[in-house]
C-alpha cells in the first residue's frame, strides 16, 4: 500500500466494537504510547474531557509510569502499533509490577506476546501500515475500550467520508502555502491535539521542522517572539480552533489573527467541520495528514520512510542486546 492509499483509508479504519471496559471501580485511566501510537492517547484524553468523563484520563509518554499509577483502580491502556516500542513495553512492565489493570493494543510484536503470556486482554489491529497511518484503527480501539457510543464513532467516520474530497483539497492548498517556510501552528485547548498531530505529520511525512503553541498560554510568551521580523518572515502561520472553545479563547483567536495582520502576515484560520467534537477533531487531523503528504511531494520527499527513527531504534536495541 502506498502512503496515499494508507491516508485515503483513514475513514474506513474507523469502526465501533462492543469492547468497553467495565469502569466500575476504576478511578484513573492512563493511556500509554509513543509517536503515531501516542497521539491516540491524546485524542482519547481530549475526547474524554469533552464528554465530561468523571474518571480522569491521562496520556503518558516515556518510561515507567507516574508514581500514582498503581493498584487495581488504575486502568492502563498500552498502545503500540508495532508492539515493540521500548517505552510502551516499559509502561506495561511497570503497570503489571504496580498491580494495575492492563489492556493492550497492537498489530503484533512483543506487546501481543507478553499480553498472551500474562493473560491480558489484547486488541489486535491490522498489520502492514506505518504506525502513523493506522490512526483510525488505534483510535477506534481505544475509544471503544473507554465506552464510546456507536453513533458517535460512526458519525465521525461518515463525516470524514462525506468531506474526503474537500479535506484533501484543503490540505493540498495549505501544503502550497507552507512550502519554503517553517509551519507554525497556533492551537486552542480543544485543538491542541490536532496541532500536535499536524506538527508530527509534517515532521515525519514532509521531513520538515514545524512547531506549535497553544492559547491561552501562548499569549503569555510565544507572541513576544513575533517581534523578530527576520525570523517570523521565515514562518507560515496557521490557527486551529474549535467552534466550542471557551468564548475568551475564541476572542484570543481573533486577537492573535489581528496581531499577525498588524505585522503584515495573513494567517490561515481553520476549524474542523462536524456535529460532534470527535468529528471536528478528526476532520482537522485529516486536513493536516493530507497537507503533510502534499508538502512532502512538493519538497520531493517520499512521505513513507522515517529513516532517523529507525536508526535510533536500532541503536537502542544494539545497546540493550550488548547489555
Residues that bind ligand F6R (CB under 6 A): 34-37, 80-82, 85, 88, 130-132, 204, 306, 309
User: Min. distance of Cβ 35 from ligand F6R in angstroms?
Assistant: 2
Examine the residue annotation and report whether 220 is marked as an active-site residue of this protein. yes
User: Min. distance of Cβ 113 from ligand F6R in angstroms?
Assistant: 14
Write out the E strands in 9-100: 28-32, 57-60, 74-79
C-beta separation of 31 from 59 below 8 A? yes
The whole-angstrom separation of Cα 99 and Cα 6 is: 38
How does DSSP classify residue 201? Answer: H
Measured from each CB, the residue nearest to ligand F6R is 35
34 vs 239 by CB, closer to ligand F6R: 34
Beta bridge partners of 156: none
36 vs 272 by CB, closer to ligand F6R: 36
User: Min. distance of Cβ 198 from ligand F6R in angstroms?
Assistant: 14
69 vs 135 by CB, closer to ligand F6R: 135
The whole-angstrom separation of Cα 282 and Cα 279 is: 5
Examine the residue annotation and report whether 219 is marked as an active-site residue of this protein. no
219 vs 313 by CB, closer to ligand F6R: 313
Write out the E strands in the chain: 28-32, 57-60, 74-79, 101-106, 121-124, 182-187, 211-214, 235-241, 268-271
C-beta separation of 161 from 155 below 8 A? no
Catalytic residue among 112, 168, 192, 204: 204
Catalytic residue among 117, 165, 220, 247: 220
The whole-angstrom separation of Cα 311 and Cα 207 is: 15
User: Min. distance of Cβ 42 from ligand F6R in angstroms?
Assistant: 13
In terms of phi and psi (left: phi > 0; alpha: psi -120 to 50; beta: otherwise), the region of 264 is: left
11 vs 131 by CB, closer to ligand F6R: 131
Examine the residue annotation and report whether 204 is marked as an active-site residue of this protein. yes
Catalytic residue numbers, as ranges: 204, 220, 313
Amino acid at each position: 500500500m502506498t502512503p496515499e492509499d494508507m491516508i485515503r483509508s483513514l475513514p474506513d479504519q474507523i469502526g465501533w466494537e462492543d469492547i468497553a471496559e467495565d469502569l466500575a471501580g476504576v478511578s484513573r485511566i492512563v493511556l500509554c504510547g509513543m509517536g503515531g501510537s501516542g497521539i491516540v492517547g491524546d485524542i482519547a484524553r481530549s475526547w474524554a474531557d469533552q464528554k465530561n468523563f468523571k474518571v480522569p484520563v491521562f496520556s503518558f509518554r516515556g518510561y515507567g509510569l507516574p508514581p500514582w499509577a498503581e493498584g487495581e483502580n488504575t486502568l492502563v491502556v498500552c498502545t503500540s502499533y508495532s508492539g515493540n516500542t521500548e517505552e510502551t513495553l516499559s509502561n506495561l512492565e511497570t503497570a503489571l509490577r504496580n498491580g494495575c489493570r492492563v489492556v493492550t493494543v497492537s498489530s503484533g510484536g512483543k506487546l501481543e506476546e507478553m499480553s498472551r503470556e500474562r493473560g491480558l486482554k489484547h486488541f489486535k489491529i491490522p498489520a502492514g501500515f506505518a504506525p502513523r497511518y493506522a490512526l483510525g484503527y488505534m483510535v477506534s480501539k481505544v475509544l471503544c475500550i473507554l465506552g464510546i457510543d456507536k453513533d458517535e464513532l460512526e458519525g465521525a467516520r461518515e463525516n470524514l467520508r462525506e468531506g474526503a474530497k474537500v479535506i484533501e483539497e484543503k490540505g493540498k492548498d495549505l501544503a502550497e502555502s507552507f512550502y519554503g517556510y517553517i509551519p507554525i501552528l497556533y492551537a486552542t485547548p480543544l485543538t491542541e491535539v490536532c496541532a500536535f498531530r499536524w506538527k508530527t505529520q509534517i515532521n515525519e511525512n514532509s521531513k520538515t521542522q514545524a512547531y506549535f503553541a497553544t492559547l491561552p498560554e501562548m499569549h503569555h510568551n510565544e507572541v513576544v517572539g513575533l517581534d523578530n521580523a527576520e525570523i517570523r518572515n521565515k514562518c507560515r502561520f496557521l490557527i486551529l480552533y474549535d467552534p466550542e472553545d471557551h468564548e475568551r479563547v475564541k476572542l484570543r483567536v481573533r486577537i492573535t489573527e489581528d496581531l499577525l495582520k498588524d505585522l503584515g502576515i495573513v494567517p490561515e484560520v481553520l476549524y474542523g467541520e462536524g456535529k460532534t467534537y470527535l468529528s471536528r477533531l478528526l476532520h482537522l487531523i485529516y486536513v493536516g495528514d493530507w497537507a503533510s503528504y502534499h508538502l512532502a511531494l512538493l519538497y520531493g520527499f517520499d512521505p513513507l520512510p522515517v529513516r532517523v527513527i529507525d536508526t535510533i531504534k536500532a541503536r537502542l536495541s544494539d545497546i540493550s542486546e550488548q547489555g
